[in-house]
């Protein structure tokens, strides 16, 4: 019985080990060969270090926001928004930030007016902090 309980406790503790929190670069390239480049911009740092290029493509009824050579400091609850400004008052959330480094993209319905929502924000939702932004032009 003691061996059985000891084995269970050992298994429970092994699941509680701290995971490696170093960011691993994501390499999820968007195939733009059948798409039209609409706008692009370079990310500017705000409260934290952020860099990379953002490109906006249109393919049929979808738009794609492609993050290229992206790099950002880690943070809790980082989101990607399309916004009308560098504030978070009028935003369309595209989802959680996929990675702190690398290449990745978000697809969304072309009903979102990127002429109005022409800012891309990397935003910490939990603490309401702008990490970085760019205006797509």
- Kindly provide the residue ranges of all beta strands, DSSP E only, lying in 16-124, ordered along the sequence: 26-27, 36-42, 44-45, 50-59, 62-72, 78-83, 91-96, 101-109, 119-124
Band the pLDDT of 2: cuts 50, 70, 90. Answer: low
Higher-pLDDT residue of 11 and 87 is 87
Residue 90 is predicted with a pLDDT of: 96
Q: CA geometry: angle at 81 spanning 53 and 91, to 5°?
A: 140
Average pLDDT, the chain: 86
Q: Is the pLDDT of residue 126 over 60?
A: yes
| C-beta separation of 135 from 41 below 8 A | yes
Q: Where are the domains of the chain?
A: 29-135
- Name the token pair of 3: 């061996």
Residues 73 and 50: beta-carbon distance below 8 Å: yes
Measured CA to CA, the distance from residue 116 to residue 25 in angstroms comes to: 31
Quick one: average pLDDT of 112-125? 97
User: Which residue would you say has higher pLDDT here, 6 or 132?
Assistant: 132
**What's the DSSP call for residue 69?**
E
> What pLDDT score was predicted for residue 17?
30
Tokens 């924000």 locate to: 121
pLDDT tens across 59-96, in order? 999 999 999 999 999 999 999 999 999 988 999 999 99
Query: What would the pLDDT profile of 14-31 be if each residue is shown by its tens digit?
Result: 333 333 345 568 899 899
pLDDT tops 70 at residue 39: yes
Question: Does residue 8 have a pLDDT over 90?
Answer: no
For the chain, the first-to-last Cα distance in angstroms comes to 69
- pTM of the predicted model as reported, rounded to 2 decimal places: 0.82
Q: Which residue has the tokens 């003691």?
A: 2
């Amino acid at each position: 019985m003691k061996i059985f309980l000891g084995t269970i406790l050992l298994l429970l503790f092994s699941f509680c080990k701290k995971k490696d929190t170093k960011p691993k670069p994501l390499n999820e390239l968007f195939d733009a060969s059948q798409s039209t480049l609409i706008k692009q911009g370079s990310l500017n740092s705000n409260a934290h270090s952020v860099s990379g290029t953002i490109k906006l493509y249109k393919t049929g009824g979808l738009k794609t926001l492609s993050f290229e050579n992206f790099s950002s400091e880690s943070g809790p609850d980082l989101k990607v928004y399309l916004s009308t400004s560098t504030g978070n008052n009028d935003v369309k959330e595209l989802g959680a930030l996929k990675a702190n480094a690398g290449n990745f993209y978000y697809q969304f319905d072309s009903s979102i007016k990127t002429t109005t929502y022409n800012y891309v924000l990397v935003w910490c939702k939990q603490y309401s902090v702008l990490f970085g932004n760019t205006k797509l032009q």
